[in-house]
Amino acid sequence: VTAHALVKHLAGALSGHYERGREDLRDGFPLRMPESVLALLELVQKMCIGGEVYRRIVCSAVLEDIGISNAKYRPPGAPDARGGVERPLLLEALVRAGTHLSTEMSTLFLQMLFDFDFKREFTRVFIRMYKDFMSTILLLQEHKEIPTRMVDISVQLFSNSVLTVTMIRQERLLSTLFSNVLALCDAQAGGDSSEATVSCEHAVWTKRTYWPVTNDLVNILSHRAVVIEFLMDPQLVLEWLVVIQRFQAMDTHVRQQDVHIEVENRQWTSPFFIELELVMEQLGLLETGLAHSMGPDPEVLADPQALIGSMRQILGM
């Protein structure tokens, strides 16, 4: 109960600081936490690194299942054991504050991910708030360490193939990643970008703001089970192709006949990396996953190579 009260107090302090800190992000400055909040975070971190038992106590408190089986120790307002806990409100509050990607919150999450129950529920909330994490990265494009903190977390979440497939089915993980790539296109265009051509000279692409998304796609599609799950769902394949289609004609070249070009445009690197990370790497992982699937479960896909061939044809590759 004491751990629950501590975590609840921390979540409340972080929630109050969340809205105020958002103004700093809009101005391009990373979040700075008050000393009182930092002291609470340090205390919780010390408990997490104090051993498996202490970490389990903290994680259970965040998931709000402390004392649920015993009414005497049940936190106020917590449901009984038969009712279960439908929504881990404290976890949502912590992750929402963590979308600012401060060093302290990122470190705390990494320490708590050793607990699998916490990891499973954290992954759900992380996916639901994925857009908020990307919004922080978009606002802090000049700070290269910010996206690295997000990737440090996500690589731990999606390293487990069983958990990853579960999140694809229950939380629309792949659809979330695809929609966030399209959201970056909208950010570049200043609104709906469905009719706009991607400008490779925009900071969204030159600074590779999309890198956390493509990194997650690579990690996710490295699982054979995910490749099968992806290709067996025509809607997911269509969503991916919609993303690819948005980048058509992104690097157009117009021949100049009457003017001498003294300095060649060096922005060719942006479309090169976009094609490599959003198309070629994904196709390579799909082919590798399908090649491995032909052995133990040849009946899973009737003609996987034909499917890959049709995808290549659609993409004009």
pLDDT digits (tens, 9 = 90+) for 272-282: 888 888 888 88
Cβ–Cβ contacts within 10 Å for residue 128, how many?
Answer: 15
Q: Highest mean pLDDT range out of 81-85, 145-149, 259-263?
A: 145-149
Tell me the backbone φ, ψ of residue 158, rounded to 5 degrees: -100, 20
What mean pLDDT is predicted for residues 53-76? 68
Cα angle 219, 133, 315; round to 5: 50
Residue at token pair 């699998």: 116
Mean model confidence pLDDT for the chain: 79
The CA distance from 150 to 102, in Å, is 10
Note the pLDDT of residue 254. 67
pLDDT in tens, 128-144: 999 999 998 988 877 88
109 and 78 in contact (C-beta within 8 Å)?
no
Residue at token pair 């009414």: 71
The CA distance from 224 to 85, in Å, is 33
Residue closest to 87 by CA, chosen among 78, 98, 96: 78
* Contacts with 96 (C-beta within 8 Å, 6 or more apart), sequence order: 15, 18, 129, 132
Cα angle 289, 292, 297; round to 5: 110
Does residue 252 have a pLDDT over 70? no
6-15, 59-68, 297-306, range with the lowest pLDDT: 297-306
Query: In the chain, where are the structural domains located?
Result: 1-157, 166-252+266-317
Give 299's pLDDT tier (boundaries 50, 70, 90).
Answer: very low
What mean pLDDT is predicted for residues 283-307? 64
The Cα-based distances of 28 to 105, 180, 207 in angstroms read 19, 21, 15
Q: What is the pTM (predicted TM-score) of this model?
A: 0.81
Residue at token pair 């900071």: 203
* Contacts with 111 (C-beta within 8 Å, 6 or more apart), sequence order: 45, 48, 49, 55
Six token digits for residue 313: 């044809």
Please provide the distance, in angstroms rounded to a whole number, between the alpha carbons at the two ends of the chain. 59
Q: Is 266 helix (H, G, I), strand (E, B) or coil?
A: coil
Does residue 87 have a pLDDT over 60? no
112 and 48 in contact (C-beta within 8 Å)?
yes
**What letter represents residue 264's amino acid?**
E
174-183, 188-197, 218-227, 272-281, range with the lowest pLDDT: 188-197
Residue closest to 214 by CA, chosen among 139, 262, 158: 158
Cβ–Cβ contacts within 10 Å for residue 239, how many?
Answer: 18
Six token digits for residue 295: 């052995």
Does residue 306 have a pLDDT over 60? no
What mean pLDDT is predicted for residues 213-235? 90
